[in-house]
């Protein structure tokens, strides 16, 4: 499903003007993903040695997996993160 939505978002006027391509909407690729946890929703707690099974939500994106700039692009008032959840 991701390629379908990535292509849809890439064809919108705003991302086209910004030079965004479909790859921008992959949380595995730098540029569109949140770099806080490299595109992951959750990461290990800061003290992983004493709490190895504790994971925290990414503070940078709130678990949405994409950068702020990528989340600014909307299709019918929904970002790529909204569409995929």
Query: Tens digit of pLDDT for each residue in 65-74?
Result: 899 999 999 9
Instruction: Say what the pTM is.
Output: 0.78
Phi, psi of 84 (to 5 degrees): -85, -10
Would you place residue 53 in the very low, low, confident or very high pLDDT band (cuts 50, 70, 90)? low
Is the confidence at residue 48, as pLDDT, over 70? no
Distance CA 31, CA 29 (A): 6
Residues 5/80, Cβ–Cβ less than 8 Å? yes
Determine the 3-state secondary structure of 75 from DSSP: strand
Higher pLDDT, 56 or 48: 56
Query: Tens digit of pLDDT for each residue in 27-38?
Result: 888 889 988 877
Tell me the average pLDDT of the chain: 84
């Amino acid at each position: 499903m991701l390629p379908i939505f990535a292509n849809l978002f890439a064809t919108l006027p705003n991302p086209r003007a910004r030079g965004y391509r479909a790859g921008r909407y992959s949380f595995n690729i730098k540029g569109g993903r949140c770099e806080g946890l490299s595109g992951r929703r959750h990461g290990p707690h800061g003290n992983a040695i004493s709490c190895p099974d504790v994971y925290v939500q990414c503070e940078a994106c709130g678990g949405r997996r994409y950068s702020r700039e990528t989340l600014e692009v909307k299709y019918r008032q929904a970002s790529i993160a909204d569409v995929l959840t």
